[in-house]
Amino acid sequence: MPSPPDADLEALLRDAGRRVEPEIQRRLQGLLGSFVRAYLPQAWVFRTDVGTATLLVDARGATSVVAEPPAHPDVTVEATFARLSAALREGRKGAPSSAGVTVTTHTSKGKAAFDYLRERVGL
């Protein structure tokens, strides 16, 4: 079955990264910044029916996307591209339930970050 023409996982993750990066960088400032900094860097692998890509957040809160998964990810999210796209584009305001999404946290910092972000990203 061919992929939908707009099924560009890396582009979807880059867009999501651009949206969350300012919030992450704001949270790194001030009194609570050291608390947030303890959870960075992060590597989240997204596996879909159209491919796999990784969203990285570095120690300064900057985001980037790479095609290959790292040796030691913090979180792995598995879903169809359509489900992931709806969740990341609409966030909590319009995404369907978490049915059809499998999330595996590999590190304690990944679990803490996912628990904090899960509603913001519709997962």
**Does 66 fall in a domain?**
yes
Q: Is the per-residue pLDDT at 94 higher than 60?
A: no
Separation of alpha carbons 46 and 93, rounded Å: 21
**Does 2 fall in a domain?**
no
Quote the pLDDT of residue 65.
96
**Does 3 fall in a domain?**
no
Q: What is the CATH number of the domain that holds 56?
A: 3.30.1050.10
- Whether the CB-CB separation of 19 and 61 falls below 8 Å is answered with no
**Does 26 fall in a domain?**
yes
**Does 123 fall in a domain?**
no
**Does 104 fall in a domain?**
yes
Instruction: Report pTM.
Output: 0.86
Structural domain total, the chain: 1
Quote the pLDDT of residue 67.
92
